Amino acid sequence: MAAAGDFEGRSVVITGAGGGLGTALVSLFAERGARVVGCDQSMEALKSAGIASRHVFDLLDKASIETAAQTILDKDGVPDVLINNAGWTRAETLAGLTPEAIERELDLNLAGVMSFADPLVKAMSRRGSGSVVFISSVNALAHFGNPAYAAAKAGINAYAKSIAVELGRSGVRANVVAPGSIRTAAWDHRLARDPKIMDRLKGLYPLGRIVNASEVAEAVAFLASERASGITGVVLPVDAGVTAGYLPFIDDILGG
């Protein structure tokens, strides 16, 4: 895994920097020497002392995306590392989908992410170096709900591979980390609805628990670092084993 000093003097752009995983990413990269350029929807979300430069934009607002990307290039220069972490979902099943929900989730989790990343990735390519890591989801690998979000994240996986293949000769690597459930504030609305949901959730995971944000951040840092210099175009689940197989089948059918 990445270690202290891996990012000394390097510029790292992190979107969704004020969220649960974003906060862990900011802390880890700052501790390891990076100059962190944090992005989120408000300055209030970017309070972390680990952030050296702050930019506010909305992934649903094309104009603010374009402005933010150009401002980052003008003010902070071409990043050495770009971590596309920002994302959101609420349409948890097909029953919850509406045309408006589909459009919103695809725009935010796919179109907005691509629109922001594209100018930065192309600038990396022109310079001749760069590492890009996208935060996707196990929902893009198998169906665990959130159908519009899952479709968007599957698109992110494909986009990362296109960068890896087309820009590899320009010195740009692109990889994906696909977390399973992470115990962050994003689970609060489910816990409020059903306080026992975590106990049931643990039964689905081979490790008997869900992952925490620092575990996901470690995987991101590894793929972003020179330690992973030969790795590009991969989708790495960090999911306590949930995509490896269906544990309840072993427990309830084979072991029953």
Amino acid at residue number 44? E
Enter the DSSP assignment of 145. Answer: S
Residues serving a catalytic function are 149, 153
Closest CA to 177 of 162, 156, 198: 156
Rounded Cα–Cα distance for residues 180 and 154 (Å): 14
At 22, list the tokens: 């974003």
- CB-based contacts of 150-155 (< 8 A; 24+ apart in sequence): 151/106, 151/110, 152/87, 152/105, 152/106, 152/108, 152/109, 152/110, 153/87, 153/109, 153/110, 153/178, 155/106, 155/110
Strand locations in the chain (E)? 11-15, 35-40, 51-56, 81-84, 130-135, 172-179, 235-238
Q: 109: how many CB neighbours lie within 10 A of its CB?
A: 26
Rounded Cα–Cα distance for residues 11 and 37 (Å): 7
Rounded Cα–Cα distance for residues 173 and 233 (Å): 7
CA angle 174, 176, 177 (to 5 degrees): 145
